[in-house]
Every structure is written in structure tokens, then in C-alpha cells.
């Protein structure tokens, strides 16, 4: 039986660039139907009809009276305000993917209405292939006129460019995104306190971010700068290309045979499927409208698809492993449960700073180490191979912090320790999250939490002979926002850090 735990990562990574990048395939597979096909910006001509329609649309919207509901500013304000508050957009909870799917469709439908291009499909920016922003968005002019897709003030000359392998490499996405079979671990988990369908839960956050939202999504937003790290991020035209790619990744995940709701409890299934995103969106005529996640699960039912979607890989879920992780992410786990799950607690009140990274250590017993180091094979049982995670909860993030980097047992760690260090385990980005507005006014965003997988790092360190003690240490180093300076705003204080072996 092949599950995520027993999958051979070398075989998963083999061909990952071809299977998961979206660079293969084409329109021929869809020539017999009327689905609109969202295509990659990779090698797309500057005068491609879809790209041209989007460019024209942005120009039309920017030229309108910005108090008009159908204008560039007013459309973006459904998401949130530049250097202000979020309105309806969810980050850090399980509504992140379906809400943004409809938000991209809102713009896609407006392009069709305003340009008359009935077969328009929103392109996507596959940053696993194109590690710098596409030329269509960086040229200041097009056709002898100002380019509506260009935004001044972007931060595209920092060390984050080209985008690093640790964030977006196809083999990294294969291991950390596509190999997950549980929706809440693939995307972001439910706020464990949610108990009803009140819409305030949508924007409140409070779930635990996994790799997809916390790393490529958040870090690319921050790396672009200008509007993108803020609630007003849709004012940058690249937003739609970025989120179209996030949407494509969800579509790929589903095409591999993963279910959004099959492993949810009936109560959770109701809370996810039937949440009303009431009046969160604007039609091309300026009318407010609503959407439900239950209607946003299948792109083909919504009238569009992506080229090169894979066929099911028959990777089975590991319900015991998934249940253990999800119970840890939930509130109110009992000490008995924690004992069964082999949690190694490391509560915290200290800050991670540039000069003094936060270090939390626990004893890593020989039996646990042996389970983590066991080679996973198809014949392995759950006791043969285990995984290691760090759960970093409720981080109080200083306003000058862009992300936190996580290392394991790194000697002489500093803010300049590179991402290709053998000790590097992951990085979580933080968008600017003041509080909510509109229907959600008064609902403060819950401090972010993150799930970081340490398994590969721990195994690699052991093979290299770099786990020389019985302790395993998780180390946090803050990364400053572009232009920020070290100081009081450059700290991260997580409420707790738990090292979990499941």
C-alpha cells in the first residue's frame, strides 16, 4: 500500500517539473469542448490574445472613476485596502483557497464583459519555472504607451530574486504540497474554535498554515513589494497571475485524486462547504454577489480548466497519521492525546531577533530517532518510519518582519545563514494583517500559526553525521521587510513551539 508516509521521494520528484509545472500540454486536449483554458505566461507572446485582453482590461479599469463600483480600486477593495485593513479576504484558515478561486473568477468575468473577449481565460504565472516576474509586467511601456501591468516601487532586485528552490522548486512542491492527501494539511487548517457558519470566521484566520500558503504564496507576495505585501495587493495586476497559479496547484492536487472533504467529519464538512461568502464579490455590472465553497470545488463545472492536468496517482491517504496531526492542530488536545502522539513540548515566551535567534531544544531519544530514520518502503508499517514536524503557534510578529526561517541544530546561526544550508527546514512569510473591515469589522486577525516539516532535514543531518547529540533544536530567525532596520519591530514571539513525531 502506497501512502504519503511510504512514498519514495526520488520517484515522486522524477519528472516533477513536467507533471506539475503546467509547462506541458496545450489546447489540443480541450479542442472538443468549450471550456476556457487558463494558460501559463511561460513563453507567452506579449501580444497573446489573453494577455492583451488582460492588459486592456486593467487599463480600462484604471481609467474609470475610482469611485465607480466597477473600477480598479473598488474591485481591489473587496479584498482590502493598501496599507490598511482586510475586508473579506481570508488568510490563515481553510477558506483561503475557495475564496480566492471566486475572487480570480470575479476579475476573469469582468475581463470578458469589458473587453468582449468571450473565450478569455486568466493566465497564470508558474513561478516554479519562471523565477523572475514575467516581462509583460516589468516593462514600463507597451506599444509606445504606459504599460498598465507595470507597477512602480516593486522590490525585484533583492536577494529573493530569482525565487529560490526552497520556496518553489518542482521537487519541493512535489514533496511538500502534492504528496499531502488531506485538504487541511495541503492548504491551511480550520480555526479549531469555529463552531458555526457566522461569516466572521472567514477573515479571522486562526488555522495552521502549511507549506502552500505560508511559503510560496506569502513569500512571493512579500518579495514583489509595493501593493503585494498588503491588504491592497490586488492593485498590482500580477496578483491575478499569482493566484491563478495557486488555483492551478489546487486543481492539480484534485486531479491527482485528492478529495477536499472525504476525510472531514460531517460537522467540519458542513462548516467548510456551506459557508456563505455573502456579498464578498462584485459582478461586471457592479452588483454584489455571494459564493459558497460547495460550488467552487470543480474548475470544469465553473467553465475553465488548465492544460496538462495529471491523472490520479492512486496515492492513498494515511488516516492515522492525518488524524494525529489534525488533532494536534485542534484546540483542547488532552495530555493523554499528546502522549500518544509523542509530542515533545517546548513552550515559549522568548523572542526571536536578528542578533539572537530563538532556540528550543528537546531530547530526541534513540527510539524516536530510529523511527524517523527508517527507510520508508511499500512494505513499511507506521512504526517503521515516522515524520517530524514543528508546530509554531500564535506568532506575535513585529511590523518590520517579513518572514521567519526555521533551522535544525545549526551551529553559529545568524540572519545570513543561507537557505541551502543543510540545517535549513523551511520559511514562513507574513503578510500585513491589521484587522478586518466591512462585515467583519472588529474581528482582529488571529496571530499566525504554521506547520513545518522537519523530516527531510533531520534525516539528511543524520546521514551527514551532523546530529551529534541526543537533542533536536528548532531555531527561528526573523527576516526583515525590505528597507526595514533592526529594532523593536524586528521580533517574533511564538506562544509555543512543539516538536512532533508522528
User: Mean pLDDT, to the nearest integer, of 430-454?
Assistant: 71
pLDDT of res. 375: 61
Tens-place pLDDT, residues 275-297: 999 999 999 999 999 999 999 99
Q: Is residue 255 part of a domain?
A: yes
Is 359 found in the same domain as 284?
Answer: no
Is 149 found in the same domain as 231?
Answer: yes
Q: Which three cell numbers stand for residue 379?
A: 512494505
DSSP H helical ranges for 310-410: 319-329, 335-340, 366-373
- Burial class of residue 270 (count of CB atoms within 10 Å of its CB; 0-12, 13-18, 19+): middle
User: Mean pLDDT, to the nearest integer, of 54-78?
Assistant: 98
Q: Which residues contact 419 (CB under 8 A, 6 or more apart)?
A: 164, 165, 166, 405, 427
Maximum CA extent, the chain: 69
Please say which residue of 308, 333, 362 terminates a domain: 308
In the chain, the N- to C-terminal Cα span, in Å, equals: 18
Rounded to whole angstroms, how far apart are CA atoms 263 and 253? 15
pLDDT of res. 442: 39
90 touches 96 (CB < 8 A): yes
Q: Is the dihedral of CA 456, 462, 463, 468 positive or negative?
A: positive
Q: Is residue 313 part of a domain?
A: no
Is 201 found in the same domain as 73?
Answer: yes
pLDDT of res. 257: 97
pLDDT of res. 66: 98
Q: Is the dihedral of CA 64, 69, 73, 75 positive or negative?
A: negative
Other CB atoms within a 10 A radius of the CB of residue 45 amount to: 9
Rounded to whole angstroms, how far apart are CA atoms 345 and 391? 10
330-339: long-range contacts, CB 8 A cutoff, minimum separation 24: 330/192, 331/192, 331/193, 332/192
Rounded to whole angstroms, how far apart are CA atoms 489 and 494? 15
Give, to the nearest 10 degrees, the angle between helix 455-463 and helix 366-373: 100
Is 353 found in the same domain as 444?
Answer: yes
pLDDT of res. 14: 41
Please work out, in degrees rounded to the nearest 5, the angle formed at the alpha carbon of residue 369 by the alpha carbons of 468 and 322: 140
494 touches 359 (CB < 8 A): no
Structural domain for 200, as ranges: 1-308
**pLDDT at 29 > cutoff 50:** no
Q: How many structural domains is the chain composed of? A: 2
pLDDT of res. 81: 92
Is 252 found in the same domain as 198?
Answer: yes
Is 190 found in the same domain as 145?
Answer: yes
Beta bridge partners of 304: 36
Q: Is residue 129 part of a domain?
A: yes
User: Mean pLDDT, to the nearest integer, of 470-484?
Assistant: 91
- Burial class of residue 251 (count of CB atoms within 10 Å of its CB; 0-12, 13-18, 19+): buried
In the block, which residue shows the cell 529573493? 160
Backbone angles phi, psi at 202, to 5 degrees: -60, -50
Residue 16: pLDDT band with limits 50, 70, 90? very low
Residue 432: pLDDT band with limits 50, 70, 90? confident
Please say which residue of 276, 308, 340 terminates a domain: 308
Is 174 found in the same domain as 130?
Answer: yes
Is 262 found in the same domain as 168?
Answer: yes
**If we measure between CA atoms, which residue out of 30, 97, 44, 53 comes closest to residue 300?**
30
**pLDDT at 345 > cutoff 70:** no
Is 248 found in the same domain as 287?
Answer: yes
Higher pLDDT, 282 or 374: 282
215 touches 427 (CB < 8 A): yes
Rounded to whole angstroms, how far apart are CA atoms 416 and 406? 13
Backbone angles phi, psi at 265, to 5 degrees: -70, 160
The least confident of 88-92, 114-118, 250-254, 494-498 is 494-498
pLDDT of res. 444: 54
Task: HSE, CB side, 13 Å, CA atoms: give it for residue 12.
Answer: 23
Higher pLDDT, 225 or 345: 225
pLDDT of res. 281: 98
Is 428 found in the same domain as 399?
Answer: yes
**If we measure between CA atoms, which residue out of 188, 242, 182 comes closest to residue 212?**
188
Please say which residue of 308, 335, 357 terminates a domain: 308
CATH number of the domain that residue 488 is part of: 2.60.120
Q: Is residue 314 part of a domain?
A: no
Average pLDDT, the chain: 88
Residue 20: pLDDT band with limits 50, 70, 90? low
Strand order in 343-347's β-sheet? 208-209, 449-453, 388-397, 492-501, 343-347
Q: Is residue 495 part of a domain?
A: yes
Q: Is residue 219 part of a domain?
A: yes
Is 239 found in the same domain as 368?
Answer: no
Q: Is residue 251 part of a domain?
A: yes
Is 342 found in the same domain as 301?
Answer: no
Q: Is residue 289 part of a domain?
A: yes
CATH number of the domain that residue 290 is part of: 1.10.1280.10
Percent of the chain residues past pLDDT 90, beyond the cut? 74
> What single-letter DSSP state applies at residue 241?
H
Please work out, in degrees rounded to the nearest 5, the angle formed at the alpha carbon of residue 49 by the alpha carbons of 44 and 54: 90
Amino acid at each position: 500500500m502506497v501512502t504519503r508516509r511510504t512514498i519514495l521521494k526520488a520517484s515522486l520528484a522524477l519528472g516533477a517539473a513536467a507533471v506539475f509545472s503546467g509547462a506541458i500540454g496545450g489546447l489540443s486536449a480541450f479542442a472538443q469542448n468549450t471550456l476556457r483554458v487558463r494558460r501559463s505566461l511561460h513563453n507567452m507572446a506579449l501580444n497573446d490574445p489573453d494577455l492583451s485582453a488582460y492588459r486592456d482590461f486593467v487599463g480600462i479599469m484604471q481609467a474609470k472613476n475610482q469611485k465607480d463600483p466597477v473600477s480598479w480600486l473598488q474591485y481591489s477593495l473587496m479584498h482590502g485596502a493598501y496599507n490598511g485593513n482586510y475586508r473579506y479576504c481570508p488568510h490563515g484558515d481553510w477558506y483561503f483557497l475557495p475564496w480566492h478561486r471566486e475572487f480570480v473568477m470575479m476579475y476573469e468575468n469582468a475581463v470578458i464583459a469589458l473587453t468582449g473577449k468571450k473565450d478569455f481565460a486568466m493566465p497564470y504565472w508558474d513561478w516554479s519555472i519562471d523565477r523572475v516576474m514575467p516581462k509583460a509586467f516589468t516593462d514600463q511601456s507597451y506599444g509606445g504607451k504606459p504599460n498598465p501591468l507595470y507597477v512602480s516601487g516593486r522590490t525585484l532586485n533583492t536577494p529573493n530574486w530569482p525565487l529560490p528552490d526552497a520556496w518553489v522548486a518542482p521537487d519541493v512542491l512535489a514533496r511538500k504540497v502534492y504528496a499531502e492527501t488531506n485538504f487541511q494539511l495541503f492548504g491551511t487548517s480550520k480555526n479549531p474554535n469555529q463552531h458555526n457558519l457566522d461569516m466572521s470566521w472567514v477573515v479571522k484566520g486562526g488555522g495552521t498554515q502549511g507549506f502552500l500558503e505560508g511559503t510560496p504564496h506569502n513569500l512571493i507576495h512579500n518579495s514583489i513589494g509595493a501593493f503585494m505585501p498588503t491588504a491592497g495587493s490586488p492593485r498590482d495586476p500580477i496578483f491575478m497571475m499569482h493566484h491563478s497559479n495557486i488555483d492551478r496547484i489546487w486543481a492539480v492536487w484534485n486531479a491527482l485524486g485528492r478529495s477536499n472533504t472525504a476525510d472531514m467529519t460531517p460537522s467540519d464538512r458542513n462548516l467548510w462547504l456551506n459557508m456563505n461568502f455573502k456579498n464578498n464579490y462584485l459582478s461586471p455590472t457592479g452588483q454584489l454577489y455571494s459564493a459558497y465553497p460547495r460550488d467552487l470545488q470543480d474548475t470544469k463545472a465553473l467553465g475553465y480548466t488548465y492544460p496538462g492536468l495529471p491523472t490520479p496517482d492512486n496515492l492513498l491517504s494515511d488516516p492515522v497519521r492525518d488524524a494525529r496531526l489534525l488533532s494536534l492542530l485542534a484546540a483542547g488536545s488532552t495530555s493523554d492525546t499528546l502522549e500518544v502522539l509523542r509530542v515533545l513540548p517546548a513552550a515559549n515566551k522568548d523572542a526571536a531577533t536578528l542578533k539572537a535567534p530563538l532556540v528550543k531544544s528537546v531530547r530526541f531519544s534513540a527510539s524516536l530517532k530510529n523511527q524517523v530514520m527508517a527507510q520508508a518502503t511499500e512494505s513499511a508499517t507506521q512504526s517503521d518510519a515516522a515524520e517530524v514536524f514543528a508546530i509554531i503557534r500564535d506568532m506575535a510578529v513585529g511590523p518590520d518582519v517579513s518572514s521567519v526561517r526555521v533551522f535544525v541544530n545549526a551551529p553559529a546561526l545568524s540572519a545570513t545563514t543561507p537557505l541551502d544550508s543543510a540545517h535549513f527546514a523551511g520559511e514562513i512569510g507574513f503578510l500585513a494583517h491589521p484587522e478586518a473591515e466591512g462585515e467583519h469589522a472588529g474581528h482582529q486577525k488571529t496571530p499566525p500559526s504554521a506547520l513545518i516539516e522537519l523530516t527531510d532535514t533531520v534525516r539528511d543531518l543524520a546521514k551527514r553525521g551532523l546530529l551529534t547529540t541526543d537533542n533536536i533544536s528548532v531555531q527561528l530567525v526573523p527576516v526583515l521587510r525590505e528597507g526595514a532596520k533592526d529594532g523593536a519591530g524586528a521580533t517574533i514571539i511564538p506562544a509555543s513551539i512543539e516538536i512532533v513525531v508522528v
